[in-house]
Amino acid sequence: MHVNDLLSAAVSGGASDIHITAGIGAIARIHGKLVKMSDRAFTGEDTLNFVRQVLTERELKAFAEIGEYDCSYSINGLSRFRVNVYRQRDTCSIAFRVIADRIPTIDELGLPPVLKDLTKKPRGLILVTGPTGSGKSTTLAAMIDHMNLTKNCHIITIEDPIEYLHKHKKCVVNQRQVGRDSISFSNALRSALRQDPDVILIGEMRDLETISIALTAAETGHLVLSTLHTIGAAKTVDRIIDVFLPSQQPQIRVQLASVIEAVVSQQILPRSDVAGRIAAFEIMIATTPIRTLIREGKTHQMQTVMQTAARDNMLTMDNSLLELYWRGAISLDELMERCVDSDIVSRQLGKLKSEVAH
């Protein structure tokens, strides 16, 4: 069997991820749940053959040396895939993430309209955050594509691996892959500052050096977009600051407060009305009160400011979840499991039900 046959069947079935591992058949994640694609269990030799079908000779050599390898894989006319090949119990396993051939628009994804406004920013730092598999890369790709259609600028993306492929439209878009085009995020980012960029997309801010250079890039007049595996604006700000030494943190707070433009947090939930999944969002816009709280180290008060700043296009995760529940898109169990403050959500639910009753 060729790996393309498995991937074709999984994509046709609506899979977002496909897992190949020894001792079990292929497994697909469909609408957030793992589903067996076949009863035939793969042997170690089967999974090794699949790895050889996916990786080039150079990539196989790198995989043999380090035990895991990130890359992308394409099937013409079907889809692209983000791939992680790894070893476990002396056998090979592969995790595929499905990437659409066509970049979906901000409207098609149902993203908050304020994201279009954020793409107009001339400089600063915009972060898209959330757990693994929450659609951060797709959101960023939609934002970059919107810029590509509406602005005239030079965009550099630094990714590991490259996921969505951007064409040159109104913008010049250069995409660099860590491990292939550069040895690290920090190296590629440092080099990007000498490549006359207007916009820099960093696939993930993984370490202190990358975060430090990203802040400097935003401070020196570039628009920087990136991701973090955090949920909520306050936790995102704290995560960035906590990476630095305590002696550096006061200065980093001042620097971050001056460059941050927005934090968009998202999570994907199973729908209760139809088959599929839906996204909930938290939007933090860097208004003067927000910048002051960051600078003074009072991030725990950001949620209160956001709750009363709808006019500034801010949205809390709990309000987003409540709206989805009230529309019938998610269940009460999902609402209570995913919310930030269950006590506040319970009170708001009671208030809404009381208003409807009257």
pLDDT tens across 318-354, in order? 999 999 999 999 999 999 999 988 998 998 888 877 7
**356, pLDDT greater than 80:** no
Question: How far is the C-alpha of 269 from the C-alpha of 135, rounded, in Å?
Answer: 11
Per-residue DSSP letters for 40-105?
Answer: PPPPHHHHHHHHHHHS-HHHHHHHHHHSEEEEEEEETTTEEEEEEEEEETTEEEEEEEEE-SSPPP
> Can you give the pLDDT at residue 175?
97
Residue 358 has pLDDT above 70, yes or no: no
Residue 108 has pLDDT above 90, yes or no: yes
- The Cα 273–Cα 301 span in angstroms is 35
Check residue 200 and give its pLDDT.
98
Nearest to 21 by CA among 122, 96, 125, 81: 96
Mean pLDDT, the chain, whole residue set: 94
DSSP string, 307-350: HT-GGGT-B-HHHHHHHHHHTTSS-HHHHHHH-S-HHHHHHHHH
Indicate the pairing of strand 27-30 with strand 15-20: antiparallel
Average the pLDDT over 48-68 and give the result: 95
Q: What tens digit of pLDDT does each residue of 132-151 get?
A: 889 999 999 999 999 999 99
Full-model pTM: 0.90
User: How far is C-alpha 219 from the geometric centre of its chain's CA atoms?
Assistant: 23
Give the phi and the psi of residue 43 in degrees, each rounded to 5. -90, 170
Does pLDDT of 357 surpass 80?
Answer: no
Alpha carbon distance 150, 197 (integer Å): 16
* pLDDT attached to residue 344: 87
Angstrom distances, CA of residue 183 to CA of 70, 126, 153, 158, 304: 13, 24, 26, 11, 42
Report the distance separating Cα 96 and Cα 116, nearest Å: 30
Q: Provide the percentage of residues in the chain whose pLDDT is more than 70.
A: 100
pLDDT of res. 38:
86
The phi, psi pair for 322, rounded to 5°, reads: -60, -40
Domains of the chain from N-terminus onward: 3-99 (3.30.450.90), 106-315 (3.40.50.300)
What are 178-201's pLDDT values in tens digits?
A: 988 999 999 999 999 999 999 999
CA distance 205 to 186: 9
Pairwise CA distance, residues 29 & 17, whole Å: 5
Q: Which amino acid is at 52?
A: R
Average pLDDT for 11-40: 94
Is cis: bond before 161, omega within 30 of 0?
Answer: yes
Look at residue 1 and tell me whether its pLDDT is greater than 90: no
